Chains A and B, each alone.
Chain A
Amino acid sequence: MLAKREMKSKELAEIIGITTANLSILKSGKAKAVRFSTLEAICKALDCQPSDILEYKED
């Protein structure tokens, strides 16, 4: 989604107000939970729906 919007991770992190380290945790799937506010900010910044950035994978 970031590539589609031609946006860098650092830019997105700045827009949604989290650190690049935390964005990296989100991208790698290591996060335990995502706040609705963060999800909302990401969707707003990338102009997309939660389903566009969330994916379920069986362990």
Chain B
Amino acid sequence: MTPTEILIVALVGGGTFFGFVAVVGIIRLPDLYTRAHATSKSDTLGIVLTLGGVALVFGADLAVAKTALLGLFLFVTNPTAAHAITRAAYDQDITPWTTEGEE
């Protein structure tokens, strides 16, 4: 394996790992707000890492620029979506889960 290939595998592996973390987070975390944390961030990093791997696979190609654009759009849209969902919940007066509420 060349160093590039190792890097690609590492990036895609890392991406998969954070995607996995996002899924586990959605299942384990207690309420909408905390789950939104998992979906908005771990997801973003996971996809960005995977896209980085994809860009390396293409090498010096126009596709790299497109992949970078994809990543950029994700950076903008992912947190916006999470914000929209949680704000809707906040407007409905859904109280965030706290450690005190547990006891």
Binding between chains A and B = no
